[in-house]
Amino acid sequence: MKRLEAGDLKDFNLLKHYRTIRKWACRNNDLTDAELELLIYLDCIDMFTIDDFKMGSYSFSWNNRRWNKLIQEDWVTVWRKRNRTTQKYNIYKVSFKGKQLIRKVYRIMTGEDDIPTSERRNSIMQGKTYMDKVLQTSVYNVNRDKNR
């Protein structure tokens, strides 16, 4: 099996439109940039503990409510509960809802899907603020670029 190198990743153009795609995902799912990127990190780990979450959180600004928000809004679920005898701690997993969002982000990055342009599926398209109007143009540019 061939090993991927930095030049191979550049040829895929994965990060070319990452900022616009991230903004879309965060705005339409009530997440911050750090929460989305942390979900992507945790999804790569698959099953994780609270300690893994803390290790992943070191590269982001401190927010002591982040874990509770991800649990309460069903982005992270308990895969195995602790029982105080043989299992000393809970094991968590990114929920189906979180996996669907991450999969959609990957599909948009690779050009398989486009960013939705309807006002119902994309709150940016309502154009309420100046930043929304700027992002609208960026969304149209991403969707037009077939070499993603």
pLDDT digits (tens, 9 = 90+) for 5-21: 888 888 888 889 999 99
Instruction: Report the alpha-carbon distance of residue 138 to residue 84 in Å, rounded.
Output: 51
Q: Report pLDDT for 81.
A: 87
- 56-77 confidence digits (pLDDT tens): 999 888 898 999 999 999 999 9
CA distances from 124 to 14, 34, 73, 133 (A): 22, 19, 21, 8
Q: Report pLDDT for 9.
A: 82
* Spans in the chain with pLDDT lower than 50: none
